[in-house]
């Protein structure tokens, strides 16, 4: 909606001019956009609450009056089981919506004007907050729809606004959750206080009005046209299998994460109003909708042991072993504690009563320790090699490390990372295969991988191997010798240097490995974009004489392109920020990223105001909608390739 974009731009320019004293546009350009907005408001009859054409005064009330809801605002039935959702949906056309974690608000319009705002309360009686609603974003104060219209939605505070508010407060005054802050802000007697809290309203339904439209999705489209900010949603034509449902859920959650919308679940609701009404309701919830909850399920259990797991970086991670509990339908009896700091903060001891959960419904973690015996001993010897351990600091956390660089657990971990797909991409060297090769003395370091032909007979005669497997492995090793500089750097497993950082290093040194080797010990990597002192220190720590000597030994076996095939500055996209989404005909997810990066493009995973282009394939989904809302240039695959010619 052009009007939404204009309001956002003009408010940004006003802030730059009046608050920052750094205007980014001329007065003439501001006036041109302002006049365009005034014209659109007159033509459409829509005036948004945060429009710069409006001077909204701040009101103060002595108390919040009570509002009786003629039509009760019921809760929703909830589940965490995808099977329950599938059974609920049957084979009807339905919508999937985000379930925002804020405060439910009802807005009443008469003769095209906002006349009342109220909270849900207990479903029957809520608080009147009409004085605060004009400070909300996403709410039109006037609409061209003259019949009575009652809209319900969720008033929230975006995560980035919440973090910004908290960043200005001392630790003992910080707010705990966006929901708590939103709830308290909306009920403020002084609307100026509410305005400072950045409340945004996301409409999710109509309880009165538009009776001539039977489709909930079509009603959503109509509300969007009237200027409402709509809850992220998608129309699904019919019920699908569980795997497809999971994809829909993942897409909706990703959309909400991208825009900073706090959610505590998703909502499945039938699209047809008539069908929905025919199902009726209980005293608690309607039967046409079902909430799919995402919050973590917490279970109580008893801590029985601590195992110590050695990783490729020499860090020894404590793992809690406890009596088996069922979380999200699966048996769980262990959880990583990540580092010594977390273990000590929990004050763990064997026999303690603990509460565990699955973070993001996937990773088991300890939520709380209710007895706090704090009697665990930190091992002085590595559980794998018996080498000495030491306590070190890593990113402001205490960690336990094995001091023996030849520890077999570290060796296997480093080798597994080295041969992984994003590194040297050597197929046929699984972790179990590497363990066998290390055990037999065939591999001790990275460079030994490129000497495996010397052990042909031994490998062919190993259990699970044969000549065919051997030939396939050697072919994969040979193929890996012709590679990119960033892959070799990433393969080293340097602390805090991932795939993107490795590419940035290779780019800075123009893919010249010799130049990188010559100055890696003294170069200040913190001068590179998104690099800091910690990353710089990690690289220098890695680049000891011994590590560098081994690195050079590996490089001598490789063929690395020193020059890029095309200077990226010769194309129209150089220096721009791109997001790619959907299914492309000529590119995979990895290949389009590599193509864009070769053009000197910054590739991002989410759409924002800083995005220059969205490359959209089939089934582009929420990223496409957000790009359109923000006015980001959207390119098809054909348009992208045409612009490169």
Q: Which residue's structure tokens are 């956009």?
A: 33
Nearest to 49 by CA among 131, 130, 115, 133: 133
Structure tokens given for 405: 């660089």
Rg (CA), the chain: 29
Judged by DSSP in three states, 592 sits in helix
Which pairing describes strands 633-635 and 613-616: parallel, antiparallel, or unpaired?
Answer: parallel
Q: Which long-range contacts (CB under 8 A, 24 or more apart) does 386-394 make?
A: 389/316, 391/340, 394/315, 394/339, 394/495
Nearest to 142 by CA among 116, 108, 114, 118: 114
Structure tokens given for 251: 């897409």
614 near 607, Cβ under 8 Å? yes
Q: Is the dihedral of CA 21, 23, 26, 29 positive or negative?
A: negative
292 near 269, Cβ under 8 Å? no
Q: Has 390 been annotated as catalytic?
A: no
Structure tokens given for 91: 């084979």
Q: Which long-range contacts (CB under 8 A, 24 or more apart) does 399-404 make?
A: 399/315, 399/316, 399/339, 399/340, 399/341, 400/308, 400/315, 400/316, 400/317, 400/318, 400/339, 400/340, 401/314, 401/315, 401/316, 402/310, 402/314, 402/316, 403/314
Which alpha helices (H) appear in 386-532, and where do they start and end?
A: 408-419, 431-439, 446-449, 456-460, 467-480, 485-491, 499-508, 513-519
Active-site residue, from 90, 99, 274, 576? 99
316 near 379, Cβ under 8 Å? yes
366 near 298, Cβ under 8 Å? no
Q: What is the dihedral of CA 220, 225, 229, 231, to 10 degrees?
A: 20
- DSSP bridge pairs for 105: 119, 153
Q: Which residue's structure tokens are 């989904």?
A: 621
- DSSP bridge pairs for 635: 615
Q: What is the dihedral of CA 429, 432, 438, 442, to 10 degrees?
A: -40
What are the phi and psi torsion angles at 312 (to 5°)? Answer: -65, -20
605 near 624, Cβ under 8 Å? no
- Residues annotated catalytic, as ranges: 99
């Amino acid at each position: 909606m052009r009007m939404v974009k204009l309001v956002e731009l003009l408010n940004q320019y006003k802030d730059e001019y009046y608050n920052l004293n750094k205007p980014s546009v001329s007065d003439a350009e501001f006036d041109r956009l302002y006049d365009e907005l005034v014209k659109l408001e007159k033509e459409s009859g829509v005036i948004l609450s945060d429009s710069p054409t409006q001077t909204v005064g701040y009101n103060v009330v002595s108390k919040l009056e009570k509002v009786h809801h003629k039509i009760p605002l019921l809760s929703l039935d909830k589940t965490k089981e995808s099977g329950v959702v599938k059974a609920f949906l049957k084979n009807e056309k339905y919508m999937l919506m985000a379930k925002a974690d804020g405060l439910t608000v009802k807005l009443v319009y008469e003769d095209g004007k906002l006349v009342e705002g109220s909270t849900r309360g207990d479903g029957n009686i809520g608080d009147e907050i009409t004085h605060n609603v004009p400070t909300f974003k996403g709410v039109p104060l006037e609409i061209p729809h003259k019949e009575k219209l009652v809209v319900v939605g969720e008033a929230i505070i975006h995560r980035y606004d919440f973090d910004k508010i908290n960043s200005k407060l001392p630790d003992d005054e910080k707010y705990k959750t966006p929901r708590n802050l939103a709830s308290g802000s909306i009920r403020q007697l002084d609307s100026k206080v509410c305005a400072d809290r950045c409340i945004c309203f996301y409409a999710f339904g109509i309880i009165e009005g538009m009776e001539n439209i039977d489709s909930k999705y079509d009603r959503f489209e109509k509300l969007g046209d009237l200027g409402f900010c709509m809850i992220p949603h998608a129309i699904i034509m019919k019920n699908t299998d569980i795997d497809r449902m999971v994809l829909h859920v993942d897409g909706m959650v990703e959309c909400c994460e991208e825009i900073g919308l706090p959610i505590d679940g998703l909502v499945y609701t039938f699209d047809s109003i008539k069908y929905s009404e025919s199902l009726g309701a209980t005293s608690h919830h309607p039967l046409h909708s079902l909430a799919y909850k995402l919050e973590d399920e917490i279970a109580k259990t008893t801590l029985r042991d601590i195992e110590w797991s050695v990783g490729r970086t020499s860090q020894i991670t404590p793992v809690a072993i406890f009596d088996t509990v069922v979380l999200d339908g699966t048996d769980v009896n262990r959880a990583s504690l990540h580092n010594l700091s977390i273990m000590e903060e929990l004050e763990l001891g064997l026999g303690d009563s603990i509460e565990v959960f699955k973070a993001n419904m996937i990773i088991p973690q300890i939520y709380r320790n209710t007895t706090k015996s704090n009697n665990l001993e930190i091992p002085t010897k590595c559980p794998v090699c018996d080498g000495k351990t030491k306590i070190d600091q890593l990113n402001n956390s205490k960690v336990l490390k094995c001091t023996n660089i030849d520890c077999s657990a570290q060796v296997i971990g480093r080798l597994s990372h080295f041969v992984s797909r994003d590194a040297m991409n050597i197929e046929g060297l699984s972790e179990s295969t590497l363990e066998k090769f290390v055990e037999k003395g065939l591999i001790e370091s990275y460079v030994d991988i490129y000497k495996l032909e010397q052990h042909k007979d031994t490998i062919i005669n190993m259990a699970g191997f044969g000549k065919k497997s051997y030939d396939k492995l050697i072919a994969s090793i040979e193929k890996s010798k012709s590679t990119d500089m960033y892959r070799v750097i990433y393969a080293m497993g340097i602390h805090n240097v991932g795939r993107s950082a490795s590419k940035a290093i290779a780019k800075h040194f123009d893919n010249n490995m010799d130049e990188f080797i010559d100055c890696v010990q003294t170069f200040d990597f913190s001068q590179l974009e998104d690099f800091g002192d910690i990353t710089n220190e990690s690289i220098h720590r890695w680049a000891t004489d011994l590590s560098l000597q081994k690195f050079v030994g590996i490089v001598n076996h490789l063929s690395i392109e020193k020059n890029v095939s095309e200077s990226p500055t010769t194309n129209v996209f150089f220096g721009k920020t791109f997001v790619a989404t959907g299914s492309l005909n000529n590119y995979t997810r990895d290949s389009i990223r590599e193509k864009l990066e070769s053009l000197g493009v910054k590739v991002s995973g989410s759409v924002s105001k800083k995005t220059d282009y969205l490359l959209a394939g089939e089934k582009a989904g929420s990223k496409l909608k957000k790009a359109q809302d923000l006015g980001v240039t959207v390119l098809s695959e054909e348009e992208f390739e045409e612009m490169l010619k």
